[in-house]
Structures are given as C-alpha cells and as structure tokens.
C-alpha cells in the first residue's frame, strides 16, 4: 500500500465533540501514529479536548484502556445495571424507588453529578507535567457562562493546576450538574463550536486533519473559511456511532476499531464504502476482471434480468448496456461511475451478503478468494 500523506509535514488535529462517540477518535489516532504522522497541535471540543489531552501526552496505551473499559458510571453518578436494564426495557430488573430518587436528585441538582468524570479527567491528566512538557499544543473550546463568550483555551499556558478544570469546562454537557470552576461557570464548548477547525487556522496551521464523529452541537466547520494554501483533510465514519451518552464498552470498542480502519482508508486511499480494499489499477483493468469472472456476474444476471432479456442479449452488450447500468443504480453509484467503482461495489455486495469480516485490509484478489471460497461452500447460493 502507498501512503497518501506527506510525512515530512507536521499536522494539526481537530477533534469534534460527541460524548461517547469519542472512542472513534482514539482508533483514528492509533492509525495515524502507526503511519508516523507528526502532530504539532490539537484543538478539541468537549470529549475532543479530553482525547486531545491524551494525544498531547502521546499516551495511546492509557487512551485505549480508558475507552475499552468505559462505563456510564465512569462519567456520571449512575448505576450501570440500571442504565442497561432501561436500554433493554427489562423493567423487572429495575428498582423503581431508586429511579424515582435519582430523578428527584437530578432535578434538584440541575443535572447528573459528574464527580466520576472529574475523577476520570484527573486520571488522564495526572500531575499535568506530561501535558505541560509536551512539544504539542493543546487548545480546548468552551463557553464561559460568566463572561458570555466562547473561549479557545491554550491549555498548556494556563495557571498551575488549571488543566483539569479547563478540560472539564470544555466537556460540561447541558445534562450535567454545573458547578463553578475557578469562580466561573462554563458550558460544553461543542454547543457553540463543535468542530474547532478555525482555532488551528487562526494559529497559522496549514495542514490539518479533522476527525469527525458527528456529535451534538454547532457544526462550525460549515462556516469556517479555509485560507488559500491551507490543506484540510477528513476522517469520518460512514455509520452510526451510537448515542452521545452511550458509554458502553462494547460500543466503544467497536467505534475504536471503526476509527482505526477509517483512518487507514484515508491514509492509504483504500477503496470501498464498507470494506477496506487496496485497489490500484486502471478502469480497463477492472472491466477485464469483471468479464473474466463471469461466475460472479452470473448471480446478478439471474437476479436482475428476466429470461427474455437474457436470451435477447449476447456478448458484452448484455452487460454494458443493460446489466451494469442497472447495477450502478442499485448500488447507488454516482452518475459518473466507472468500471472500477462498479467492480468494487460488486465485491462489497457479495462480501456483505456472505458475512465476510469487514475489519481487515484486503487486496482485490484476496477478497475475491474469500468470496469464491464462501460461494463454493454454499454451493454457489448467495444469501439475499
């Protein structure tokens, strides 16, 4: 595979807010780190600022451990068993008196008690030295309720002991009990600037990677003007990452894996919407491959064309004039699709139907091999 990113440059990383979806960012960072991408600074909102602290410290092991073992009770003062029972609608397992008491306390306090989140931030930051001594910049976006303005805090330059407070200030979600920090009140930065790309652009960064997780808040990237000469790249999920308050370790581990492979797609220009396919080669190459693998196309001929059409068309015309255009529509390819696009879509469709593991980087020939093995084991019957 050929790396598509220039490793001689230093990059800024923008981490969107999105609560529990933040595990995706750690998976993406792992892939960037493995590839040798040099990170100069990070700007984060909400959970993005917490992950930013981990990236600033270059502590991947701690980051993975936190997200692999995340639970609701590590963020809010709630019972994991109660939350899981509510999600499963297992009302028999619920202590209704406990729920009522928790509800009354929530109303009285004006939100969830986030003492566990404070403890988690303290665990991340430690004595602050790893952040303050890092050669990477770290900016956390928050909103000062006391001053009625958005702030992009240079975390490393704050007063001694302020790092934890500024990270918490950035993550003060509306559903959380709000307490004063240093005599002031803050709210989640994501509500006002959830994709703080402008923060790094204002600091003079010219090469920036934005890791999207599509969380709650104002998508400030839509109104951010990209100056001439700046290069902005994106790593983003193509499937739902779950809820912003879904602090479930099973979902979190899945999101980390997804982030890792999506970053690989970005780094190496991998093909595929669902799968991760190393597919160099020209359009004629993939047309020839399709026509030489008629065993695969036969499945679609039988599915998509009626008998009269099959009998009336001979040779390539049946494929190029009738079957391929129909398949392109079915696969929702762009209007300017080519035979490479179609061939990859066919492989993905078959692999998905055959339940072939998607979290792996495949060459075209290797994925075909997997598909053929499965087909032969099923006696060429494809699950619809």
252 is catalytic: no
pLDDT of residue 124: 84
353-369: average pLDDT: 94
Residue 65 pLDDT > 60, yes or no? yes
H-type alpha helices, 174-306 = 190-193, 197-202, 249-268, 283-292, 294-304
228-242: average pLDDT: 95
329-343: average pLDDT: 93
Q: Tell me what percent of the chain is helix, strand and coil, each rounded to the nearest 5.
A: 50, 15, 35
Sorted by sequence, the CB contacts under 8 Å of residue 145 that are 6+ apart come out as 178, 184, 185, 186, 187
Pick the residue with more confidence: 196 or 160?
196
Q: How confident is the model at residue 156 (pLDDT cuts 50, 70, 90)?
A: confident
Closest CA to 110 of 21, 180, 183: 180
Tell me the longest C-alpha to C-alpha distance in the chain. Answer: 81
107-131: average pLDDT: 76
Average model confidence (pLDDT) for the chain?
Answer: 84
Is the Cβ–Cβ distance between 226 and 232 less than 8 Å? Answer: yes
pLDDT of residue 174: 63
pLDDT of residue 5: 95
Separation CA 244–CA 215 (nearest Å): 7
pLDDT of residue 293: 79
pLDDT of residue 356: 94
Lowest-confidence pick of 1-10, 173-182, 242-251? 173-182
pLDDT of residue 7: 96
Express each pLDDT in 125-140 by its tens digit: 888 888 999 999 999 9
Please tell me which residue in 46, 49, 130, 170 is annotated as part of the active site: 46
Per DSSP bridges, beta strands 137-144 and 361-363 are unpaired
Lowest-confidence pick of 44-48, 162-166, 178-182? 178-182
Residue 215 pLDDT > 80, yes or no? yes
Please tell me which residue in 130, 165, 188, 207 is annotated as part of the active site: 188
Is the Cβ–Cβ distance between 200 and 208 less than 8 Å? Answer: yes
User: Domains of the chain by range and CATH?
Assistant: 11-268 (3.40.1090.10), 277-378 (no CATH)
Per DSSP bridges, beta strands 186-188 and 137-144 are antiparallel
Pick the residue with more confidence: 17 or 304?
17
pLDDT of residue 93: 47
46 is catalytic: yes
């Amino acid at each position: 595979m050929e790396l598509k990113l220039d490793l001689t440059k230093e990059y800024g990383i923008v981490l969107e807010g999105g609560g529990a979806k933040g595990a995706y960012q750690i998976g993406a960072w792992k892939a960037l780190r493995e590839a040798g991408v040099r990170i100069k600074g990070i700007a984060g909102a909400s959970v993005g600022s917490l992950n930013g602290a981990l990236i600033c410290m270059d502590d991947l092991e701690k980051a993975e451990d936190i997200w692999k073992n995340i639970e609701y009770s590590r963020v809010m003062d709630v019972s994991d068993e109660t939350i899981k029972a509510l999600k499963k609608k297992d009302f028999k397992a619920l202590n209704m008196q406990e729920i009522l008491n928790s509800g009354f306390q929530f109303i009285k306090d004006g939100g969830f008690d986030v003492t566990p989140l404070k403890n988690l931030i303290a665990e991340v930051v430690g004595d602050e030295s790893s952040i303050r001594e890092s050669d990477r910049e770290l900016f956390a976006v928050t909103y000062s309720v006391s001053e009625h303005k958005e702030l992009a805090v240079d975390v490393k330059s704050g007063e001694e002991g302020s790092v934890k407070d500024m990270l918490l200030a950035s993550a003060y979600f509306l559903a959380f009990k709000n307490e004063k920090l240093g005599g002031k009140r803050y709210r989640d930065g994501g509500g006002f600037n959830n994709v703080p790309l402008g923060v790094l652009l204002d600091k003079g960064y010219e090469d920036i990677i934005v890791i999207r997780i599509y969380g709650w808040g104002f998508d400030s990237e839509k109104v951010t003007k990209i100056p001439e000469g700046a290069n902005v790249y994106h790593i983003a999920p193509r499937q739902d990452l779950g809820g912003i308050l879904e602090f479930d370790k099973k979902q979190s581990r899945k999101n980390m894996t997804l982030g890792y492979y999506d970053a690989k797609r970005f780094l190496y220009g991998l093909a595929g919407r669902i799968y991760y396919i190393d597919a160099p080669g020209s359009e004629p190459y993939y047309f020839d491959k399709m026509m030489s693998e008629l065993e695969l196309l036969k499945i679609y001929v039988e599915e998509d064309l009626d008998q009269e059409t099959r009998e009336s068309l001979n040779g390539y015309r049946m494929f190029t004039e009738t079957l391929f255009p129909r398949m392109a529509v079915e696969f929702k390819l762009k209007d300017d699709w080519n035979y490479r696009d179609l061939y990859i879509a066919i492989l993905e469709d078959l692999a998905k139907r055959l339940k072939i593991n998607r979290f792996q980087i495949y060459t075209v020939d290797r994925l075909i091999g997997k598909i053929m093995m499965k087909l032969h084991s099923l006696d060429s019957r494809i699950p619809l």
